Structure 1
Amino acid sequence: MKIGYARVSTLDQNSELQLDALKVAGCEKIFQDKISGSTADRPGLAEALAYVRPDDSLVVWRLDRLGRSLKHLIEVVEGLEGRGVGFVSLQEGFDTTTSGGKLVFQIFGALAEFEKNLIRERTNAGLAAARARGRKGGRKEKLTASQVETMRKMSASRQHTVAEICRVMSITKPTYYRYMEANHGKDR
């Protein structure tokens, strides 16, 4: 059975073109969303994914109607494939129920993996270059050295609870403990 999925980004847009194409393609049931593609929570897509069964095909008018990104698209299609469900994109003309369609999608997956690795390599190279120039990465310290010393003295005096110290210093308990452990062990 062919199950259709249509999506338009705004309430002003019209999904008739997609719905007509899905009907012509033989979709017996069609789910739809009127929501931005960048939104993770798409009820129509969730319903379509829950509805499809092995040997069904999920059909979309264009790839960008299904996936928020190439990575998301690949995850959805791999999930479908793992359940024995095919995927068809009408405009791009591929169908994962055919060997040619599977090949095209595997190439998409390989390109996405390649892109992810390139981004990781560039990020690591950038971090290494910054370290070589003396830059330290990460979040700025929440407390100055004198504030940490004040906090340590308050704790050592045993006149203040951890909650009171956190309130005075405007920090959370995990931050308090992290500073205490980083500064002379577990003085609490």
Structure 2
Amino acid sequence: MKIGYARVSTDDQTLDLQRDALQAAGCERLFEDKAGGAKAERPGLGEAMAFARKGDVLIVWRFDRLGRSMSELVRLIGELDAAGIGFESLAEKIDATTAAGRLVFHVFAALAEFERNLTRERTHAGLAAARARGRKGGRRELSPEKQALIRASADRPPAEVCKALGISRSTFYKYAPSRADAAGASMLHTKRESQQ
């Protein structure tokens, strides 16, 4: 069975082009997602992969509809292959059910691994160069002025101070430890009361 999967990144984009291409390719069942962002959930993809059985072929309009990165694409196609499910991309005209298509994906997997290794090496080299210049990682210290404003804001709610200074709540409590202790004690007291 041919199973189609379509995805758009935002709600204002339309799936019509992908639907038409997948139906023209003979897909008997379509699964869809409207998901943006690298970590967005894709329930449609999960349903498609759960629905597919050995011998089925999952078809997408383009590679980037299945995986947002080369490594994710290779991982997903590896999962499909391990389950005996084929994969086809219409725009790139690659059919992973053929020997030539599988060869292309082995090349993709090697390129993805190469890319990961290069990124790792560049990161380590950059960190070593920064350490050699006396710089260390982590967030920068707040200016003495902002630190003083935090300490002087004992009567204001933390959310208000954070918004005014453009800082996170964790940064606020880092420079106002007495407020952090008070907040922790208050939470502990509330928890104990609810347990009684």
Give the TM-score normalised by the residue count of structure 2: 0.69
- 1:5 offset after TM fit, Å? 0.4
Aligned-partner residue type, residue 33 of structure 2: D
Q: Distance in 2 between matches of 1:116 and 1:110?
A: 10
DSSP-derived class of the 2:4 partner? strand
2:160 is aligned with 1:168? no
Structure 1, unpaired ranges of 5+: 142-166, 174-188
Q: Is the 8 A contact 1:3 1:48 kept in 2?
A: yes
1:88 aligns with 2:88: yes
Amino acid at match of 1:15: L
**2:34 matched residue in structure 1:** 34
Q: How does 1:32-181 map to 2 (within 5 A)?
A: 32-36=32-36, 38-138=38-138, 168=178, 170=180
Q: CA deviation at 1:93?
A: 0.6
Q: 1:77 to 1:110 in 2, by over 3 A?
A: same
Shift of 1:43: 1.3
Give secondary structure in 2 for the equivalent of 1:6: strand
Deviations 1:94-151 (A, max 9, x none): 011101101111111111111110011111111111122222334679xxxxxxxxxx
Q: Please state how far the C-alpha of 1:9 moved relative to its aligned partner.
A: 2.2
Give the C-alpha shift of residue 59 in structure 1: 0.3
**Alignment gaps of 5+ in structure 2:** 142-176, 185-196
Cα displacement (A) at 1:17: 1.6
Distance 1:3 1:89, change over 3 A: same
Alignment RMSD:
2.4
- 2:35–2:41: 8 Å Cα contact kept in structure 1? no
Aligned partners of 1:139 and 1:20: how far apart in 2? Answer: 49
Partner residue in 2 for 1:22: 22
Change (3 A) 1:37 1:48: farther
Partner AA of 1:7 in structure 2: R
State the one-letter code of the partner of 2:82. G
Letter in 2 for 1:12: D
Higher mean displacement: 32-41 or 104-113: 32-41
In structure 1, the residue matched to 2:5 is: 5
Contact 1:33 1:43 in 2 (8 A): yes
Distance 1:77 1:96 in 2: 9
Flag the 1:79–1:91 CA change in 2: closer, same or farther, 3 A. same
CA contact (8 A) 1:37 1:68 kept: no
